[in-house]
Amino acid sequence: MRFFEDYQIDGKPLLAPDQDVVMSRADLDSEDSGRDESGFLHRFPVRLGMGTWQLQYSRLSAQEYAYLQGLFAGKTQFAFTYRDLSGKSATCQAYRSDHSITLHDGARGLYRSCKFSIIEC
C-alpha cells in the first residue's frame, strides 16, 4: 500500500490517490440569506471558506479498500490533517461524504472508481 502522509484521518495516513486531489472552499450562508423582491442578494454568512477535498482512486485491492473503510468506520466526524496551499500542515474537524466504488473483479477482490469527499465541519 502507498500512503500519503499529507492527508490523515485521526493521525492515520490516507492511501495515496492516483488522481489529483481537488480542493475547494465555499461559504456557508444562513437560511436568512437570499434575494429580495427587487432581485438583490442579501448574504448572511455563518462561516467563510469551508474546505472540501475530493479524492478518487482508479483501482484498489480488497486490502486497500478495507484499509480506507477502516479509517472511517463508526465515525461521524474525525480530525482531518492536510497540507494547505502555503505548504503548512493544518487540521480541522471533518466528515466523509457519501462514497461510491465499483466491484471490478469479485474473484480477485479488485475494485475501481472509488470516489468520496472530505468536508470540513
Q: What mean pLDDT comes out for the span 36-47?
A: 92
Residue with cell 472509488: 114
Whole-model pTM: value is 0.85
Q: Coil, strand, or helix at residue 25?
A: strand
Mean pLDDT of 22-50: 93
Q: What is the dihedral of CA 57, 63, 65, 68, to 10 degrees?
A: -100
What does the pLDDT read at residue 92? 97
Percent of the residues in the chain that have a pLDDT greater than 70, as a whole number: 100
**Buried-state track 22-46, b at ≥16 Cβ within 10 A, e below 16:** eeeeeeebeeeeeeeeeeeeeeeee
pLDDT at position 51 is 96
Q: What is the mean pLDDT of residues 66-82?
A: 97
Question: With 0-12 CB in 10 A as exposed, 13-18 as middle and 19+ as buried, what is 71?
Answer: middle
- Examine the pLDDT at 7 and tell me if it is beyond 80: yes
